[in-house]
Chain A
Amino acid sequence: MHKRVFHVALLFAAALTMLGAGSSTTTLDRIGHKLECPCGCAEILSECNHVGCPDSGPMIDELRKDIVAGQSEPAILNAFVAEYGPVVLAAPLRGGFDVVAWIVPFAVLVLGGLGIVFVLRRWHRHTQLAAPAAPVADEEAMRERIRRDTE
């Protein structure tokens, strides 16, 4: 049985290694996916393919030039924001306060997870200690009334 578990674990590890393998995405595509076409089509810049779009073609050319010129990704994104406004970004990507947008959801998940672990430990500890509580007299009267109501 241990051998089988080991094999399964090995297979998982291999699969995970493959999941982490590098992709063939180019810098142009990667940055292009962080920008939106500002013509109103609401398409990702690299995916905007509608005929006669006045913006996507020139913007992709501009992006290509910036990459060839060796500009860093943040610098390119900042330049686009300066030219087209913050709506050109497909998501909060400018750094600074925008990092909060990405961190908060996962922070909530992690804190919630820790909270659950805390609750589970507390409940588990109580299991050994707690004795069944005696019913309160008022509650008994209430239960009696409910029985009457529902008969």
Chain B
Amino acid sequence: MLHPMPSFGELSLLLALMLSVYALFAGALSLWAIAHKHQLAVDAERLRETARRAGIASFVAVSCAVFALVWAAFTNDYSVDYILHHTNRSLATAYKFSALWSGQEGSLLLWAWLLSGYGFVLRLRDKADVTLHAYAGTILAGIQIFFFLLLVFAARPFSLVPGGVAPADGLGLNTLLQYPEMVIHPPMLYLGYVGFSVPFAFALGALMMRYPGEKWIHITRRWTMVTWLFLTCGICLGMHWAYAVLGWGGYWGWDPVENASLMPWLGGTAFLHSVMMQEKRGMMKRWNVWLIFVTFMLSILGTLLTRSGLVSSVHAFAQSSIGDWFVIFLAIVALVCTFTFVLQGDHLKTENHLESYVSRESSFLFNNLVLLTASFVVLWGTLYPVLSEWVNGSKETVGPYYYNRVMVPIGLALLFLTGVGPLLAWRSTSLRAIRRNFVLPCIAVIVTALALMAFGVRPWHDDSYGGGIYALVCIALGAGVITAITSEFLRGAGVVRTQTDKNLLASAILLTHRNTRRYGGYLIHFGIVVLFIGIAGSAFNRSEEHEMGFGDSIQLNGYKLVCQSFSQDSNAEYDTDYALLDVFHNGKKITQLAPEHRFYNASQQPLTVVAIHSTLAADLYVVYEGQNPDTGRPIIKVFLNPLVNWIWIGVGIVIFGTFIALVPPLLPVSRKVEVPAGAAAVVGGPNA
């Protein structure tokens, strides 16, 4: 039987692989010839150009493969094993598209496509520095080859069902993935993971060609920020999905897959801070190169951990036998990085040295320490079950109990540095400046702590096992950081106002526009503080669970939920059980919630549909847990989760701040000065 579209997809992947191989070898050969002034049979620069074009063409080829898979999903081509296992006829259109990344093979294809897409843009925008872009493009081609090899030999998305005869209908998409955020969460996350390949390729390329100066960092800064933004969005969308879909009342469970995304995010954050030392002061060049190497390797390591089955994860769909491929790839990357650094690293010499211990430079060092320790702890906790199995003979649990005790103090240290760092000047900070900058934030910390204690957050009556103390410290520190950021804005805006006669708001906007990077960064810090305050709220979470008949109620911290009815319904996709609950707060009805429990026919999987009443103070989160088989009545679990909305607001501010930081700053405008008549003649005319 003929299967034209799957064959087209297979062929496209093979072509993409061949083009990438050509881009790697032709690129490497031409760059070697140019660097060593060696004469080749063909002109080296033209050969380099063909490598660039092959890289561009590889994106077109892999796009064809992606098109073929999406086409197969939309045309219900169940002769393709992947489509059979991840779609069915009645699946909604958006989810048919998202089936592309709902399984191992599809998600690797998405990875390869995004990587080639980044490479496509990089190769098109090579005018900033042709040679450096050629190095970066060649390194990217090497990474592309790995993913294409995987797709062609180990995780084939176009493999046909045994016998090649298509069943009448597919087995459907995992029900947990049938949620709007799942249509955008994986692409965002992958854009983040994959994106670190670009600064990695530039860093390695710059090291290979002994690139002087900081220009490669200027070129990659936007790439890194955009990548970081995608990863941030991806992680936060995943958090929101876990919160809204999984029905356990939380948004972060320290699952290995979640940890895998956090590790490169922390590394990338450290890199974004650390490169400023290199840009402004010509310091930490070797460190920065290794930081981006490690960040890239962490994104690969995370994928290895979760896809190899080495550590167990709730994301079971992703486990397979491709771990060995990732181990080999990781080993090659580590070897290439080490070898290149040993050969070429000697030109990375610092141009300046520390002038004072109390300076922005030293705060960046501590910031890097805390971020990288956090990243290490996540890796350590993820790998510890494996380690304990080797040593103790049994896998230990390393979950929220462990991470909350180890990561929270580290997080608070980071929050502290978020406040302190921007208040310190480059080179040296005088005692007078420290007094001027730190008095208000310190007062804010103390006043907030006392106010919280007055309003009932009493560490000595803590019934949340340390959570209350941490929450108090976090919110108080957060208030200090917000005060520091606000006073920085106001101080700068005040200066602009005296210069321009604009009002304070307009002055603050102009100030931000003049130095988008700095003030965008402050906004990001502000967003992170808001996010931390939202997380601190989890110390005060409460929950109750009851079986509920008609008129039965649950009471929780001033809320009362009364069961109005419970029933069942069916449609083509699923059967559902639901309950209608009237919600009262302080005796007044505020809303009606309808938590559901669905059972999908095609995949034979259940799904909990959580009902949430969300306010700035707290989320009332209601889950239909199931039915008591003896009475037929629903079992309802209610969570009261304070400050959850602050997390999503904080993320929004972080995204906004990142956009601001990406905007080019306003160039200084030269002011026209009225020259008195005859003055030009006095100084020698206009061309003097």
- List chain A positions with a Cβ less than 8 A from chain B: 8, 11-12, 15, 18-19, 21-25, 30, 33-34, 36, 42, 44, 47, 49-52, 85-87, 89-92, 94, 96-98, 101-102, 104-106, 108-109, 112-113, 115-116, 119-120, 123-124, 126-127, 130, 132-133, 138-139, 142-143, 145-146, 149-150
Hey, which chain A residues are within 8 Å of B450, CB to CB? 15
Residue B71, interface by CB 8 Å: no
Contact call A8/B380, Cβ cutoff below 8 A: no
Nearest neighbor of B126 in chain A, beta-carbon distance: A149
Contact call B353/A120, Cβ cutoff below 8 A: no
* Segment 159-217 of B: residues with Cβ below 8 Å from A: 210-213, 215
Contact call B397/A86, Cβ cutoff below 8 A: yes
Complex formed: what's the CA distance from A130 to B350 in Å?
Answer: 11
Hey, which chain B residues are within 8 Å of A127, CB to CB? 353-355
Contact call A51/B628, Cβ cutoff below 8 A: yes
Complex formed: what's the CA distance from A16 to B449 in Å?
Answer: 11
Q: What are the 3 A-B residue pairs with the smallest beta carbon separation, nearest first?
A: A21-B460, A123-B354, A90-B401
Complex formed: what's the CA distance from A149 to B126 in Å?
Answer: 10
Contact call B369/A143, Cβ cutoff below 8 A: no
Complex formed: what's the CA distance from A96 to B388 in Å?
Answer: 11
Nearest neighbor of A1 in chain B, beta-carbon distance: B435
Hey, which chain A residues are within 8 Å of B598, CB to CB? none
Hey, which chain A residues are within 8 Å of B153, CB to CB? none
Hey, which chain A residues are within 8 Å of B376, CB to CB? 105, 108
Contact call A119/B401, Cβ cutoff below 8 A: no
* Segment 519-564 of B: residues with Cβ below 8 Å from A: 543-547
* Segment 396-429 of B: residues with Cβ below 8 Å from A: 396-402, 405-406, 410
Contact call B396/A89, Cβ cutoff below 8 A: yes
Contact call B637/A50, Cβ cutoff below 8 A: yes
Q: Which of A8, A25, A87 contacts B446 (CB 8 A)?
A: A8
Residue B339, interface by CB 8 Å: no
Q: Which of B131, B283, B398, B459 contacts A91 (CB 8 A)?
A: B398
Hey, which chain B residues are within 8 Å of A139, CB to CB? 210, 212, 347
B582 to chain A, nearest CB (A): 21
Known: A51-B547, A123-B283. 18 other contacts (CB 8 A): A18-B460, A24-B461, A25-B463, A42-B248, A51-B628, A52-B635, A90-B397, A91-B405, A92-B398, A92-B402, A97-B392, A102-B406, A105-B410, A108-B377, A120-B362, A120-B365, A133-B351, A139-B212
Known: A44-B401, A49-B544, A150-B128. A105 touches B377 (CB 8 A): yes
B284 to chain A, nearest CB (A): 10
Known: A15-B449, A90-B401, A142-B212. A101 touches B349 (CB 8 A): no
A140 to chain B, nearest CB (A): 9
Contact call B401/A101, Cβ cutoff below 8 A: no
Contact call B463/A24, Cβ cutoff below 8 A: yes
Contact call A109/B373, Cβ cutoff below 8 A: yes
Known: A50-B637, A97-B391, A126-B353. A91 touches B442 (CB 8 A): no
Contact call A112/B446, Cβ cutoff below 8 A: no
Most chain A beta-carbon neighbours within 10 Å: one of B130, B211, B397: B397
B108 to chain A, nearest CB (A): 29
Hey, which chain A residues are within 8 Å of B498, CB to CB? none
Most chain A beta-carbon neighbours within 10 Å: one of B365, B377, B449: B365
Nearest neighbor of B399 in chain A, beta-carbon distance: A90
Contact call A86/B459, Cβ cutoff below 8 A: no
Contact call B211/A101, Cβ cutoff below 8 A: no
Q: Which of A52, A87, A149 contacts B395 (CB 8 A)?
A: A87
B474 to chain A, nearest CB (A): 13
Known: A51-B625, A150-B129. A98 touches B388 (CB 8 A): yes
B475 to chain A, nearest CB (A): 13
Residue B469, interface by CB 8 Å: yes
Complex formed: what's the CA distance from A150 to B365 in Å?
Answer: 32
Q: Can you list 22 A-B contacts with CB-CB less than 8 angstroms, sorted by A residue number?
A: A11-B446, A36-B397, A36-B399, A44-B401, A47-B543, A50-B625, A51-B635, A87-B396, A89-B396, A91-B405, A94-B396, A97-B388, A106-B406, A109-B370, A109-B410, A113-B366, A120-B362, A123-B353, A124-B357, A139-B212, A149-B128, A150-B128
Nearest neighbor of A110 in chain B, beta-carbon distance: B373
Residue B462, interface by CB 8 Å: yes
Nearest neighbor of A35 in chain B, beta-carbon distance: B401
Hey, which chain A residues are within 8 Å of B545, CB to CB? 49-51
Hey, which chain B residues are within 8 Å of A89, CB to CB? 396-397
Complex formed: what's the CA distance from A119 to B354 in Å?
Answer: 9
Contact call A146/B449, Cβ cutoff below 8 A: no
Complex formed: what's the CA distance from A86 to B628 in Å?
Answer: 31
Contact call B357/A101, Cβ cutoff below 8 A: no
Complex formed: what's the CA distance from A143 to B545 in Å?
Answer: 69
Complex formed: what's the CA distance from A12 to B370 in Å?
Answer: 24
Q: Which of A42, A86, A146 contacts B399 (CB 8 A)?
A: A42
Known: A105-B373, A105-B406. A18 touches B128 (CB 8 A): no
Contact call B366/A116, Cβ cutoff below 8 A: yes
Known: A8-B442, A139-B212. A149 touches B130 (CB 8 A): yes
Nearest neighbor of A102 in chain B, beta-carbon distance: B406
Complex formed: what's the CA distance from A124 to B355 in Å?
Answer: 6
Complex formed: what's the CA distance from A30 to B215 in Å?
Answer: 55
B560 to chain A, nearest CB (A): 18
Hey, which chain A residues are within 8 Å of B442, CB to CB? 8
Residue B465, interface by CB 8 Å: yes
Contact call A145/B131, Cβ cutoff below 8 A: yes
Complex formed: what's the CA distance from A94 to B391 in Å?
Answer: 13
Hey, which chain B residues are within 8 Å of A23, CB to CB? 460-463
Most chain B beta-carbon neighbours within 10 Å: one of A22, A97, A124, A146: A146
Hey, which chain B residues are within 8 Å of A119, CB to CB? 365
Contact call A91/B402, Cβ cutoff below 8 A: yes
